[in-house]
Amino acid sequence: MATTTRTRTAVTALNTAEQAFKLLTCEPAPLVFDARPVPGLPDTTMPLDELRTLLMFNRYDSDTTDEVWRQLAHHTRDWGPTWVVGAIGVALPALTHLAAKISRGHARHADDVDSDVLAGFLHALRTADLAPPRLWLRLCWAAWRAGAAVVKADDGEELPLDLPTGSRSPHMPYGHPDLLLGRAAAAGLITAEAAELISATRFGDALIEQLAAERGVTASVLRMRRRRAERVVAAAVTRGDLSGAMRPPAPRAAAAAA
């Protein structure tokens, strides 16, 4: 409840973005998105807040979601600040959720997390390659990595390098699986692609069959890769390798877990 209260009342980057979005989508002249070229969306134009509602409460396949964000990204790059505010507003439910997850246990950094999640998403929106698939997932990962970087220093402070760990229960990094995966990838234990695969299929809505088709492999091959990477991460957690300061990656560890 405390996180919800902070999100609703504090003046943070995400709350400021939400207020700007409301002004942009209010009558009599809300900013309008042309959904007609997007497969799976209604064949009409609609205010951006209606688009946000559709994306929140309906399950669209990745082709539809990617095309929505392709168009929004093009608009932000070609048509200026108004569309930057509009695109961020459409993403805000997801960005707010990510920021709350990262800030859990790091309340004093919550404002900074909000700012960096927003900055990371905006940078990706302006610079990411729009052609490859899973654009929305890639934008969210950029936001997550930026926000997670804020709390890394605190995590290091919790477990000094000279503190023997012995057989104690390993500290769960940052309190969320996606951050654990990010640390495993940063340590070279698994590849970034393997981390995204686990995140998208275990904690997101992606179907492994769909991702397999996009990558040109069978679903059974992708399941095997996921299972191998998960075993590497599980072993690292048991050893305590993902707690405290990061250790140098073992040679070729990531390649073995890809």
Q: What is the mean pLDDT of each run of 10 residues along the chain (258 residues)?
A: 43 88 91 94 96 92 92 93 93 92 86 92 92 89 88 50 34 50 78 82 72 82 88 80 51 46
Identify the pLDDT of residue 230: 86
Identify the pLDDT of residue 243: 59
Identify the pLDDT of residue 161: 37
Identify the pLDDT of residue 107: 84
Q: Measure the CA–CA gap between 226 and 189, rounded to whole angstroms.
A: 13
Identify the pLDDT of residue 177: 63
Please, where are the H alpha helices in the chain? 2-9, 13-25, 48-57, 62-79, 81-103, 110-127, 135-158, 177-186, 192-198, 208-215, 219-239, 253-256
Identify the pLDDT of residue 203: 67
Identify the pLDDT of residue 122: 92
Identify the pLDDT of residue 256: 45
**pTM for the complete prediction?**
0.60
The H or E element spanning position 26 is: none
Identify the pLDDT of residue 236: 79
Identify the pLDDT of residue 234: 83
Q: Measure the CA–CA gap between 55 and 175, rounded to whole angstroms.
A: 27
In this structure, are residues 136 and 70 in contact, taking their beta carbons and an 8 Å threshold? no
